[in-house]
């Protein structure tokens, strides 16, 4: 059993890997220990209808789950996905644009991946290629 998403064996029962909500909570808890390195916010995206009008919210269609700024001043964003989760076309386009503008954006499936992305962003590394 390896990796953050490995199933846990407790009392001879197998528990499934955590969903995206559990991953989000774990990532936010881990990032709380790195407050000197990053200020991060949850980016809720979507919209609502009010009468005949549609009111969008968040950082646009495809915006990452977490957005923030590194202590270096660089924009930093993380899209969280479960083991089987895939990016939508809008998410790929959003990530490509952020990377093109010099931000560090990554799709992560584990807390460890998020922490590695934080360290890479702080080192000034280029954002990894957007997942297909």
* Percentage of residues in the chain having pLDDT higher than 90: 66
Average pLDDT, stretch 28-47?
A: 93
Residues 7 and 20: their CA atoms lie apart, in Å, by 15
pTM: 0.80
Higher pLDDT, 86 or 57: 86
Point out the least confidently predicted range of 30-34, 56-60, 89-93. 56-60
Q: What percent of the chain has pLDDT over 70?
A: 86
pLDDT above 90: residue 26? yes
Asked whether residue 42 is domain-assigned, the answer is yes
In a domain, 3, yes or no: no
132 located within any domain:
no
| CATH code assigned at 68 | 3.40.1350.10
Under DSSP, the state recorded for 83 is T
Q: Where are the beta strands (DSSP E) in the chain?
A: 8-10, 13-15, 38-42, 46-50, 53-57, 66-70, 75-80, 104-108
Contact 108, 64 (CB under 8 A): no
Its domain, for residue 34, covers 14-123
How many domains does the chain divide into? 1
- Tell me whether residue 9 is in a domain: no
């Amino acid at each position: 059993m390896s990796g953050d998403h490995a199933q846990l064996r407790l009392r001879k029962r197998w528990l499934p890997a955590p969903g995206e909500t559990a991953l989000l909570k774990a990532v936010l808890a881990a990032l709380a220990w790195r407050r000197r390195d990053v200020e991060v916010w949850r980016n809720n995206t979507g919209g609502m209808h009010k009468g005949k009008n549609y009111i969008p919210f968040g950082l646009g269609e495809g915006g990452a789950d977490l957005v923030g700024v590194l202590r270096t001043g660089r924009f930093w964003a993380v899209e969280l996905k479960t083991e089987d989760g895939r990016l939508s076309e809008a998410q790929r386009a959003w990530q490509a644009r952020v990377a093109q503008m010099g931000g560090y954006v990554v799709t992560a499936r584990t807390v460890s991946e998020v922490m590695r992305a934080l360290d890479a962003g702080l080192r000034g590394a280029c954002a990894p290629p957007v997942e297909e």
